[in-house]
Structure 1
Amino acid sequence: MTDTGLPQMVIDARDVTLTLGDTPVLRGISLSVARGESVALLGSSGSGKSSLMAVLTGLERASGGRVIVDGLDFTTLGEDALARARRGRIGIVLQAFHLLPTMTARENVAVPLELAGVTDAWSRAGEELAAVGLAHRMDHYPSQMSGGEQQRVAIARALASRPPIVFADEPTGNLDTATGERVMDLLFARQGALGTTLIVITHDHALAARCDRTVTLADGQVR
C-alpha cells in the first residue's frame, strides 16, 4: 500500500497500441495491476492477450501509449536497457516448459541465476525446487520427469530470482486437467508466499476465475 492507503500499481499501461506490419494487434488498451494481485488476461486465440503480455514484459515494443512496469517506463528504453530491466523484475512461465534437456532440474533453475550474478544460485535453486515439491528430483533430467514435474521446474525457475511480477502464458496448456489444477494450486501458493504479482494468460474461464480479477480481451481491446 502507498502512503495514501491506495494499492501500489506495479503495472500501469495507458492507451497501448501495437501494429505489426499493417495489422493493428492492440487497439488502445489501458490496464493497471496492483502489487501482489493476480489477474487473468482472458480471451480466445487472436484476441491480443499474448501480444499484450509481450508488450508488458518488454519483449515487444508498443507502437503507441505508455507502459510503466515496476517504476520503469518501458516505452523509453532501448533494447539493451529493456533486457536489463526484465532481469530480476519479470519471471515467465510458458505453456511449453523450455527446459534445457542436457541440464538437471537444479541446473535449469540455477544457471539463469548464475548468469544474472546471483552468488548463492545453487543453494537458492535447491530451495525453490524443494518449495515446489521436487527436492527428490533435483538431479533428474527433463526426460526423466513427467509434464507436471517439468512445469514445476519451470515455475521454480521463474520464481527463483524473486521477481515482483510473474507472467504465466497458458501454463496448463500441455497438461491434463488434474495435473494442470495441481500445478496452478502450486503457482498460486508460491505467489501468495512471496507476494508476487501474477498475470495469467488463458482462454480457460475456470482458470481465470481463480484469479483476483479477470480482464477480457477481444479484437485487441479490453471488453
Structure 2
Amino acid sequence: MIVAEGVTLALGQPPARVQILHGIDLSVATGDSVALLGPSGSGKSSLMAILAGLERPGNGAVGVAGLNFAALDEDALAVARRGRIGIVLQAFHLLPTMTALENVAVPLELAGVRDAFERAGAELRGVGLGHRLDHYPAQLSGGEQQRVAIARALAPRPALLFADEPTGNLDTATGAAIMDLLFARHRETGATLFVITHDPALAARCARVIELADGRIVADRRHA
C-alpha cells in the first residue's frame, strides 16, 4: 500500500533551514494497522503529510496504492487522494453551518458520488450517530464530532486511512471509545490504518509499531 524510499524534508531557508526528515525508508502492506510513535517534533505529522500526498518530499520516492506520487502534479495528486485516502485529524474540521449528514455527504457529492446522502447516512449509523443526522457540530459533543469526522473519512471507502492524533482533543474515556470505533471500522472495511501518536498504549493496539526520533526511524517491530 505504501512504499517510501530515501524520503527527506527540510523547511525554511538557509541559514535557518531545518531538516525534518532524514532518508526515511518504509513499506506498509495492504490491510495492515501501523502506529507511528514518537515525541512531539520527531517528524510524525510531516511524514504523514508526505505519505498522504499533502506535502512533497525534498528527495526520495513515494508510492501509494500503486501510484508514483512524485510523477503527479498538484491536480493529479488531488485526484489520486480522492477515494483512495481518508484522513482523521485531531481537529475535527467540520463545517459549522452543515448538519452531520451534510458534512459527510457534501464531499461525496462534490466527488460525483450519486448516492451521497444514502451512503453518508449509512456511515453515520455505522459510527453510532443515526440519531444525530440533522444536528449541527455545535450541538454535538467532542466525541460525536470526531465520529462524524471518521464517517466522513470512511464514506469514500478509501483503501488507506490516516489518523493523526485523533483523540488529542478528547477526554480519556471518549478517546478510548473513538479508538475502539476506529479499529472496528478498520477491521470491517479492510482499509490499511496508519495511526500517528505519541501514546505507547494506543500504539500497542496496532499490529506494527514504528518509532520516529529526530526525523529518523529508530525502531520497527510487529506484535505477535
What TM-score range do you get, normalising by the shorter chain?
A: over 0.9
One-letter code of the match for 2:126? A
Between the two proteins, the alignment pairs up a number of residues equal to 214
- Counterparts of 1:221 and 1:129 in 2: how far apart (Å)? 38
**Do structure 1's residue 32 and structure 2's residue 23 form an aligned pair?**
no
For 1:34, the aligned partner's letter is: A
> 2:131 is paired with a residue of what secondary structure?
helix
Partner of 2:221 in structure 1? none
Any gaps of 5 or more consecutive residues in structure 2? 219-224
**Aligned residue in 2 for 1:46:** 41
Give the Cα–Cα distance (whole angstroms) in 1 for the partners of residues 10 and 161 of structure 2: 25
- RMSD between superposed Cα atoms in Å: 0.6
**SS of aligned partner of 2:24:** strand
- Indicate the residue corresponding to 1:3 in structure 2: none
Bigger mean CA offset, 20-29 vs 187-196: 20-29
Distance across 1 between alignment mates of 2:199 and 2:161: 18
| Aligned position for 1:15 | 6
List alignment gaps of at least 5 residues for structure 1. Answer: 1-9
Structure 1 ranges of 4+ moved more than 6 A: none
**Distance in 2 between residues matched to 1:189 and 1:25, nearest whole Å:** 33
Distance in 2 between residues matched to 1:56 and 1:75, nearest whole Å: 11
Mapped partners of 1:104, 1:31: distance in 2: 39
Quote the offset at 1:24 in angstroms: 1.1
Deviation at 1:20, TM superposition (A): 1.4
Are positions 1:73 and 2:64 aligned together? no
Taking the aligned partners of 1:83 and 1:20, their CA distance within structure 2 comes to 22
State, as a whole percentage, how many aligned pairs show the same letter: 72
Distance (whole Å) between structure 1 residues aligned to residue 44 and residue 78 of structure 2: 21
Deviations 1:1-51 (A, max 9, x none): xxxxxxxxx001111111112221110001111111110010111100000
**Counterpart residue identity of residue 37, structure 1:** D
What letter matches 1:109 in structure 2?
Answer: V
Which secondary structure does the structure 1 equivalent of 2:31 belong to?
coil
1:54-133 → structure 2 map (5 Å cutoff): 54-133=49-128
Normalized against structure 2, the TM-score is what?
0.95
Cα separation, 1, equivalents of 2:33 and 2:86: 14
Matched residue SS, 1:45: coil
TM-score (norm 1): 0.95
Q: Which residue of 2 aligns with 1:165?
A: 160
